[in-house]
């Protein structure tokens, strides 16, 4: 079809702008011209202001992104981001993962769990000079000084218990920003489609395209009657956000400018080539192999036990996603010479640096020496750390660490063990029951212990604790005794240990407590070694980054920090791509694609009511005639568009854009040029996975749920009129 050719040439050719960048909001005015070129009409200055629409409606979940979409605290995010909330409320007798959930009234909205939080970023302040004040030249002391300065800033910021403050490093320690966030602690489940909709296609379609996933869920934020954040209570009331997103029911078309906002997790675009090679040669394959073993084990154990299936559903989904991403990175490194590209840039940087007589020409050599030390450290500690993977041992270690940390003033304690952390600390202990089965925990731990026993980097204290058992059967029997004799499987017993002193741990007969105590000094020594190296890197990395940024600016390349789970904005346009020879991926998928993929068996087992709604073809106002620009538009001023574009005449399910995203951007609102919500980010294409290391504008595409599909689901399938009435829908 000619329109596909036109789209391929225009939208994926050199005419397209390189939409690279996960920008800090304050940087928006500096790229105002790029936003305008993409058709982003909302003023860049407004996007930089976290107190204004739409940025004050974008919230974090701590691991994903969400946004307010009603004045009554209604929040939308991805289904996979709310997975644990759905799992938390699922039981054998009412499995909401399988059947979906809809609260018809607010009284029917259950707690999403004690760990669920919404974080609303209110201020971001440059505190680089304060963090770097009066630092020691000794590496370990320097690291401790940096942490002390960070904790001091956090303490001064957290004068109100309703706020959470953090100091994040940008550009590998070159800059630091103090981030202040309002915490909503009462989060409730409102509406989630079944997993057969939210994850349609499952792991097979993960990172693939075309996609037909209804990856969305609605939550609601609640506060006390005084309007202040509070823990869960039946008489709490919906939170009234400062603003909420307008939803454009007409959506977007191919070529439209879009932008997304969210909390991307981690990228490595400024890392050295040697770091990429270490990840590719050792880290990624090693981690992926372990994930696969764990996935296979849990799946096998869950086959005949629905309780295990529900409890470990979230863990399985998370591990499967991480494993496929790691394999995608490895495949991407083979398909595209990312190592060669990075090495070429690195060589060019060194050539540029040598022209500056005052520069430190040993920058990379000095950094490489430290990185070699770090790689050895990672490999040496890997099996020992995994050998401590039992959930009960992890709880015991944290509890004993808490008792030891309490022996020093709160300001001197390690982050995670200060008084400010105790609510979340307790919530984590409480939640363990919902995602724990002793037989699974023991089996996975035994696998890690056997892997530890089969390699050379042994640790004497652990060998002694296990009585130097080398026989697999004897080791299994010993672990059986651990689980039979422990009291940590009881929630109240776990919580009670939070108030006990170190001596109580050191005289305990509980086998997990005893093992945690035995391993403590070795773990602390390992942490000290790691922190000493971090202290050395806190000098080398910023010096390197300062020179790299100067080099990038000299080449007129975009300069933005690597992702670090802080609020960012990225822009692009709705766009397909040429995935390989003669195969162009169209930017939109249709309802009919769900039916075409349906087999009746997971992961292509769409619910009958959804299939019936598609068959009825009663889409009403949700029907979209065309997803391409008018032939008289700007596209046709470049090409002869004599052909009439193919009619769409369906409801768009998912769409592609060139926005620059990564993990953590899941659930990110996708906006049209006016700042109206048109979709939710939930994935990337397989070819784009390597963007964590290198951004290739030709093939890098993010995958979004089209909000027109969400509205269709709410209207025609689940009849969620109560929620539709809460939304502010606008049309072009």
CA 612 to the chain's CA centroid: 34
Across the range 605-619, mean pLDDT stands at: 97
pTM: 0.92
Cα separations in angstroms, 516 against 361, 424, 436, 528, 637:
46, 21, 19, 18, 70
Residue 449 phi, psi (nearest 5): -70, -40
Q: List the beta bridge partners of residue 221.
A: 187
Q: What is the 3-state secondary structure (H, E, C) of 157-168?
A: HCCCCCEEEEEE
Tell me the pairing of strands 729-730 and 175-184.
unpaired
What is the C-alpha separation between 180 and 132, in angstroms, rounded?
20
Sorting pLDDT into bands at 50, 70 and 90, what band is 639? very low
What is the C-alpha separation between 474 and 512, in angstroms, rounded?
18
Across the range 195-203, mean pLDDT stands at: 96
The pLDDT of residue 647 is above 90 = no
- In tens, the pLDDT along 457-488 reads 899 999 998 887 778 889 999 999 999 999 99
Virtual torsion, Cα 104, 432, 475, 514, nearest 10 deg: -170
Write out the two tokens for 447. 């696998």
- CA end-to-end span of the chain, whole Å? 28
Sorting pLDDT into bands at 50, 70 and 90, what band is 14? very low
Across the range 429-446, mean pLDDT stands at: 94
Whole-number pLDDT of residue 637: 36
The active-site residue out of 666, 683, 706, 718 is 666
Virtual torsion, Cα 128, 133, 137, 142, nearest 10 deg: -70
Virtual torsion, Cα 147, 149, 150, 153, nearest 10 deg: 160
Whole-number pLDDT of residue 532: 98
What is the C-alpha separation between 8 and 578, in angstroms, rounded?
7
123, 119, 126: which is closest to 171 by C-alpha? 126
Across the range 422-433, mean pLDDT stands at: 93
- Residue 62 has what DSSP assignment? S
Whole-number pLDDT of residue 2: 32
What is the C-alpha separation between 476 and 482, in angstroms, rounded?
10
Q: Is the Cβ–Cβ distance between 418 and 440 less than 8 Å? A: no
What is the C-alpha separation between 677 and 722, in angstroms, rounded?
19
Virtual torsion, Cα 351, 355, 356, 359, nearest 10 deg: 30
- Residue 654 has what DSSP assignment? E
Sorting pLDDT into bands at 50, 70 and 90, what band is 641? very low
The pLDDT of residue 84 is above 70 = yes
Q: What is the 3-state secondary structure (H, E, C) of 121-142?
A: EEEEEECHHHHCCCCCCCHHHH
The pLDDT of residue 496 is above 90 = yes
478, 540, 533: which is closest to 511 by C-alpha? 478
Q: Is the Cβ–Cβ distance between 423 and 522 less than 8 Å? A: no
Catalytic-residue membership of 658: no
What is the C-alpha separation between 192 and 96, in angstroms, rounded?
8
Q: List the beta bridge partners of residue 683.
A: 703
* Non-local CB neighbours of 527 within 8 Å, separated by 6+ positions: none
Task: Give all strands (DSSP E) within 81-240, no chain letters.
Answer: 101-102, 118-126, 163-170, 175-184, 186-192, 217-223, 237-238
- Percentage of the chain lying above the pLDDT 70 cut: 95
DSSP conformation letters of 660-710:
---TT-TT-EEEETTS-EEEEEEEE-GGGGGGGT---TTT--EEEEEHHHH
- In tens, the pLDDT along 201-255 reads 998 999 999 999 999 999 999 999 999 999 999 999 999 999 999 999 999 999 9
The pLDDT of residue 336 is above 90 = no
Dihedral sign computed on CA atoms, order 534, 538, 543, 545 = positive
Across the range 297-325, mean pLDDT stands at: 92
Q: Choose the weakest-confidence range: 374-383, 543-552, 630-639, 661-670.
A: 630-639
The pLDDT of residue 8 is above 70 = no
Cα separations in angstroms, 227 against 67, 101, 190, 639:
19, 27, 20, 57
Q: List the beta bridge partners of residue 590.
A: 652
What integer best gives the mean pLDDT of the chain?
93
Q: What is the CA radius of gyration of the chain?
A: 26
The active-site residue out of 12, 67, 70, 80 is 80
CB-based burial label for 179 (10 Å; 0-12, 13-18, 19+)? buried
The pLDDT of residue 489 is above 70 = yes
Whole-number pLDDT of residue 640: 38
Whole-number pLDDT of residue 698: 86
The pLDDT of residue 283 is above 90 = yes
What is the C-alpha separation between 655 and 672, in angstroms, rounded?
13
Between 721 and 333, where is the model more confident?
Answer: 721
- In tens, the pLDDT along 126-184 reads 999 999 999 999 999 999 999 999 999 999 999 999 999 999 999 999 999 999 999 99
Whole-number pLDDT of residue 676: 98
The pLDDT of residue 15 is above 60 = no
Residue 152 phi, psi (nearest 5): -65, -45
Q: How many CA atoms lie less than 13 Å away from 711 in the CB half-sphere?
A: 27
Q: Is the Cβ–Cβ distance between 162 and 228 less than 8 Å? A: yes
The pLDDT of residue 550 is above 90 = yes
Element (H, E) at 503: helix 502-506
Whole-number pLDDT of residue 371: 98
Catalytic-residue membership of 704: no
Q: Which residue has the tokens 């940590």?
A: 488
Element (H, E) at 729: strand 729-730
Whole-number pLDDT of residue 448: 97
What is the C-alpha separation between 708 and 442, in angstroms, rounded?
45
* Non-local CB neighbours of 673 within 8 Å, separated by 6+ positions: 38, 39, 40, 41, 42, 256, 257, 258
Sorting pLDDT into bands at 50, 70 and 90, what band is 643? very low
Whole-number pLDDT of residue 468: 78
Number of alpha helices (DSSP H) and beta strands (DSSP E) in the chain = 27, 21
Across the range 429-439, mean pLDDT stands at: 93
Angle at 251 between CA 629 and CA 55, to 5 degrees: 120
Whole-number pLDDT of residue 334: 84
Element (H, E) at 463: helix 460-465
Sorting pLDDT into bands at 50, 70 and 90, what band is 531? very high
What is the C-alpha separation between 19 and 570, in angstroms, rounded?
8
The active-site residue out of 19, 145, 186, 215 is 215
Q: How many CA atoms lie less than 13 Å away from 517 in the CB half-sphere?
A: 15
704, 696, 702: which is closest to 18 by C-alpha? 696
Whole-number pLDDT of residue 645: 55
Catalytic-residue membership of 622: no
727, 717, 708: which is closest to 621 by C-alpha? 708
DSSP conformation letters of 296-326:
HHHHHHHTT-HHHHHHTHHHHHHHHHHHHHH
CB-based burial label for 409 (10 Å; 0-12, 13-18, 19+)? exposed
Whole-number pLDDT of residue 634: 45
């Amino acid at each position: 079809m000619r329109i596909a050719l036109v789209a391929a040439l225009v939208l994926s050719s050199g005419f397209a702008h390189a939409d690279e960048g996960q920008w800090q909001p304050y940087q928006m005015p500096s790229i105002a011209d790029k936003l305008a070129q993409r058709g982003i009409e909302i003023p860049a200055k407004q996007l930089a202001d976290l107190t204004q629409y739409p940025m004050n409606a974008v919230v974090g979940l701590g691991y994903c992104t969400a946004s307010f979409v009603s004045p009554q605290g209604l929040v939308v995010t991805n289904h996979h981001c709310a997975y644990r909330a759905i799992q938390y409320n699922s039981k054998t007798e009412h499995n909401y993962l399988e059947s979906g959930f809809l609260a018809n009234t607010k009284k029917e909205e259950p707690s999403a769990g004690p760990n669920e939080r919404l974080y609303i970023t209110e201020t971001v302040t440059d505190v680089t000079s304060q963090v770097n004040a009066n630092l020691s030249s000794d590496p370990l002391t320097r690291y401790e000084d940096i942490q002390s300065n960070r904790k001091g800033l956090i303490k001064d910021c957290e004068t109100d218990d309703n706020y959470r403050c953090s100091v994040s490093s940008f550009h590998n320690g070159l800059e630091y920003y103090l981030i202040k966030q309002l915490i909503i602690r009462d989060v409730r489940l409102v509406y989630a489609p079944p997993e057969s909709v939210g994850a349609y296609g499952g792991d097979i379609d993960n990172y693939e395209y075309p996609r037909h996933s209804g990856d969305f869920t609605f939550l609601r934020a609640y506060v006390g009657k005084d309007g202040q954040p509070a823990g869960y209570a039946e008489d709490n009331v919906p939170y009234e956000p400062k603003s909420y997103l307008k939803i454009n029911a007409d959506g977007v078309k191919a070529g439209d400018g879009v932008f997304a906002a969210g909390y991307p997790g981690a990228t490595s675009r400024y890392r050295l080539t040697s770091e990429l090679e270490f990840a590719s040669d050792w880290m990624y394959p090693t981690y992926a192999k372990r994930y696969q073993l764990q996935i296979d084990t849990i799946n096998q154990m869950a086959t005949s036990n629905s309780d295990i299936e529900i409890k470990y559903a979230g863990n399985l989904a998370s591990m499967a996603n991480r494993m496929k991403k790691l394999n995608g990175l490895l495949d991407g490194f083979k398909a595209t010479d990312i190592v060669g590209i990075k090495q070429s840039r690195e060589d060019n940087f060194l050539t540029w640096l040598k022209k500056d007589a005052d520069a430190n020409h040993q920058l990379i050599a000095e950094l490489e020496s430290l990185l070699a030390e770090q790689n050895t450290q990672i490999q040496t500690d890997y099996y020992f750390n995994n050998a401590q993977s039992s959930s009960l041992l992890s709880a015991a270690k944290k509890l004993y660490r808490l008792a030891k940390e309490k022996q020093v003033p709160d300001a001197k304690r390690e982050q995670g063990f200060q008084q400010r952390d105790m609510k979340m600390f307790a919530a984590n202990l409480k939640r363990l029951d919902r995602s724990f089965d002793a037989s699974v925990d023991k089996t996975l731990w035994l696998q890690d212990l056997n892997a530890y026993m089969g390699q050379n980097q042994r640790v004497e204290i652990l060998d002694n604790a296990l009585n130097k058992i080398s026989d697999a059967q004897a080791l299994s029997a010993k672990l059986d005794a651990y689980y039979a004799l422990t009291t940590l499987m009881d929630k109240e017993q776990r919580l009670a240990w939070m108030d006990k002193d170190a001596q109580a741990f050191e005289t305990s007969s509980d086998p997990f407590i005893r093992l945690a105590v035995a391993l403590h000094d070795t773990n602390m020594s390992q942490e000290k070694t790691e922190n000493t190296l971090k202290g050395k890197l806190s000098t080398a990395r910023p010096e390197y980054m300062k020179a790299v940024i100067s080099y990038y600016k000299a080449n007129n390349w975009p300069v933005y920090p690597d992702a670090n789970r802080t609020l960012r904005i990225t822009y692009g346009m709705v766009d397909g791509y040429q995935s390989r020879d003669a195969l162009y991926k169209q930017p939109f998928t249709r309802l009919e694609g769900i039916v075409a993929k349906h087999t009746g068996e997971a992961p292509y087992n769409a619910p009958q009511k959804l299939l019936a709604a598609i068959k009825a073809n009663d889409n009403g106002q949700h029907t979209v005639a065309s997803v391409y620009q008018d032939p008289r538009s700007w596209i046709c001023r470049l090409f002869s568009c004599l052909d009439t574009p193919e009619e769409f005449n369906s409801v768009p399910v998912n769409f592609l854009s060139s926005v620059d995203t990564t993990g953590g951007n899941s659930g990110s609102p996708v906006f049209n040029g006016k700042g109206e919500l048109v979709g939710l980010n939930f994935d990337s294409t397989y070819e784009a996975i390597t963007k964590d290391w290198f951004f290739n504008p030709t093939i890098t595409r993010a995958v979004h749920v089209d909000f027109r599909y969400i509205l269709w689901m709410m209207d025609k399938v689940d009849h969620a009129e109560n929620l539709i009435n809460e939304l502010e829908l606008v049309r072009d």
